[in-house]
Structure formats: structure tokens, C-alpha cells
Amino acid sequence: MTLDFYFHPFSSYCQKALIALYENDIPFTPQVLNGPDSPAGQALAAIWPLKRFPVLVDGDRTIFEATCIIEYLGLYHPGPVRLIPEDPKAALEVRMMDRFFDNYISTPQQKVVADALRPAADRDPYGVKEARAMLDASYAWLDKTMAEREWAAGDPFSLADCAAAPFLFYADWTHPIGERFPRVTAYRQRLLQRPSFARAVDEARPYRKFFPLGAPDRD
């Protein structure tokens, strides 16, 4: 039975799950969410009333949240690239790093972007300042952590890297990593060279004009 994947190509969380699908060449039917009135948007509202995405539908099973989708794929549609280690101690490191990228890179990055979408009178300069400070602190911690690592949890490529790729991609657009954190910059570049993520980035290129802070002329 074909998997139905409800997503938008420009969404970082959707890209996180797409990387897992592409890593193992898992066939799926793309249900692109081009607005709430699109056929995919109406179908998603019926399946998942909260209407947040990505969502994976596998027969009578509905799986939401990118991390859970990746875990589900590993259990029910495994491929040659194992994104969560079988060893529980190694798996814990992977899951911890996945939480790091979700909570301390993506969350503050999205705070800055969401604020830019608000009317000027409703913006939160103090909250944006806090979010940028958290990104700086997160970059600094990650720069030290990556001193002897190729991938986020060591080796090999894992769920944590599925999270890191889109979150660092957009974070650098929002609050540049720059030369202050060379290991983070080098890691981000390795992620961009990973074929699964490079494919997701290319598929999202037509939507760059919608980035509220202005997409840089790179990547």
C-alpha cells in the first residue's frame, strides 16, 4: 500500500521527514499542501483536525510529528540506512541531539521568522532578542560538540542529522552562523552535500521568495 505524505516542500519539519524518505528511497504519494482549500489541505483537515504537518498516512494509520514519522518508517518501512541505532545507548544520543535541534535551533529560529510576519505594532523585539541569544548559545555549544564528529551523534548519519539539516539551513538564513563557529558551518555544508537533503533543498527553491526575512543569494 502506498504511503501518503502531507507536506509543504519549504517547511523545515517536512524536509526533516523527507530526508528519511529519500535516504531509503521509500516510495510515497506526495500530497502537497498548497493552501487549506487545496485537495490535499481539505484531506488533511479531515484526517488530522489540528492541520499541522507533516503527516504520514499508511493505510489506516496516521502518524504526525516529523520525529515520529522517521521512527515509524524505521519500524515499518526499513531500508539500508538505519536512522536510529539498534544499540539503546547510541539511540539515546541520537534522540537527545534530535531534541537539541528541534528545541534550541528550530524553535528560536521560527520565533524570529514568525515575528517578522506580524504587523509592526504586534511585534516582540524582546522575544526576538532572546531567540537570537539562544541561537548564539546553541551554535557555541554545537561548535564544541562537533569537534570530533562528522555527524550530529557521531557516526553514522542518523535521525539527528535529519533534524539538523533543515533547521541549521534556515537558522543560518535567519541568524548567520558565520566565521565564529567554523565547525557548525562545516557541518552545515556537509549536510547540504548529502543527496537526500540536497534533493529537498532543490525541490523547495521555487518557494524562496516567501521567506519573510529575505532568502540570501546562496545555498
pLDDT of residue 2: 87
Per residue in 55-75, pLDDT tens? 999 999 999 999 999 999 999
User: Among 156, 155, 153, 175, which residue's Cα sits nearest to residue 164?
Assistant: 153
pLDDT of residue 81: 97
**198 Cβ contact partners less than 8 Å away, ≥ 6 residues apart:** 192
Report the predicted TM-score, pTM, of the whole model to 2 decimal places. 0.97
Mapping DSSP to helix (H, G, I), strand (E, B) and coil, where does residue 55 land?
strand
Phi-psi domain of 154 (left: phi exceeds 0; alpha: psi -120 through 50; beta: other): left
Tell me which residue has cell 504537518: 53
pLDDT of residue 12: 98
**Phi/psi of residue 57, each to 5°?**
-120, 120
CA distances from 160 to 2, 17, 126, 129, 184 (A): 26, 11, 30, 27, 14
- Counting as low any pLDDT under 70, the low residues of the chain are 1
